[in-house]
Amino acid sequence: MIYIKTQKDIDFIKESCRIVAETLQLLKKNIKPGITTRELDQIAEDYIISNNAKAAFKGYSQAGAFNYPASICTSVDDEVVHGIPSGRELKEGEIISLDVGVLKNGFFGDGAISVAVGNVSSEKKKLMEVTEKSLYLGIEEAKVNNRLHDISAAIQNYVELYGFSVVRDLCGHGVGKYLHEEPSIPNYGKRGTGSKLKKGMTLAIEPMVNMGEFGVKTGSDGWTVVTADGLPSAHFEHTVLISNGNPEILTVT
């Protein structure tokens, strides 16, 4: 079931998304060689709590895995998504995906960015640039009466122009009353197919892009998804409202 949000719902979602966006920017400022992913998690948790909200991921359950133990996901280099914060220190030249979910007033917001740790290779820089640009191209298609896979095709076509691959085993999703709602939003697909987009939908659009092949696998912790070929991956995400006219990005400061 795809939920169509009321104006009151949307106002609550916007509040959660504001906290997501501010948390991501705070984390970005703290990215440097030597900081641990657990320290980043604590920074995020403290900020979310200071806004009278909850970290949406903490305690989240997924079939076949223990409940997620941290407030954010920190995925480094070949880790695509769902990396668990730990004592791991970030190193110069790595890239890290920071994924934040917030619950406040019974509604969720969700967003992610990828950030360079110090100076990174030109290849990693291009990977992040292409992934972020593909997100905005996908968002441009999130309009009333377009089809769901118009978003997917825009992302895939741009990514593949640069020889990168979109992950096929993971996708974006509706978000609002629940952290993950219908519809699922793949990052590949055929234009003109999928559900018709309607005013009041709120979507978490999130391209996950690999430098090499699109294959991924889940690590022994049951959560961390890594590239099958060991090459780096990047990830960007916005929560978007479909309204009259252009889509509205909610996860911005």
Which residues have C-beta within 8 Å of that of residue 60, sequence separation ≥ 6?
67, 68, 179
Strand (E) positions, the chain?
54-55, 72-76, 79-81, 95-104, 107-116, 165-166, 172-174, 181-185, 202-205, 208-210, 216-218, 225-227, 233-235, 238-241, 248-249
> Does 1 fall in a domain?
no
Rounded Cα gap, residues 152 and 146, in angstroms:
12
The residue range of the domain holding 68 is 7-249
Q: What is the pTM of this model?
A: 0.97
Q: Residue 185: its pLDDT value, please? A: 98
Per-residue model confidence as pLDDT tens digits over 35-48:
999 999 999 999 99
Rounded Cα gap, residues 185 and 163, in angstroms:
22
Instruction: Give residue 19's identity as a one-letter amino acid code.
Output: I
- Give the chain's domain count: 1
Inter-CA distances, 232 with 49, 102, 110, 210, 240, Å: 32, 27, 23, 6, 26
Q: 199, 157 in Cβ contact below 8 A? A: no
Q: Residue 63: its pLDDT value, please? A: 74
> Does 78 fall in a domain?
yes
Beta strands 79-81 and 225-227: pairing type? antiparallel
> Does 155 fall in a domain?
yes
Q: Residue 244: its pLDDT value, please? A: 87
Q: Residue 229: its pLDDT value, please? A: 98
Q: 63, 55 in Cβ contact below 8 A? A: no
Q: How many CB atoms lie under 10 A from the CB of residue 80?
A: 25
Per-residue model confidence as pLDDT tens digits over 158-215:
999 999 999 999 999 999 999 999 999 999 999 999 999 999 999 999 999 999 999 9
Intervals of the chain under pLDDT 70? none
Rounded Cα gap, residues 152 and 250, in angstroms:
19
CATH number at residue 187: 3.90.230.10
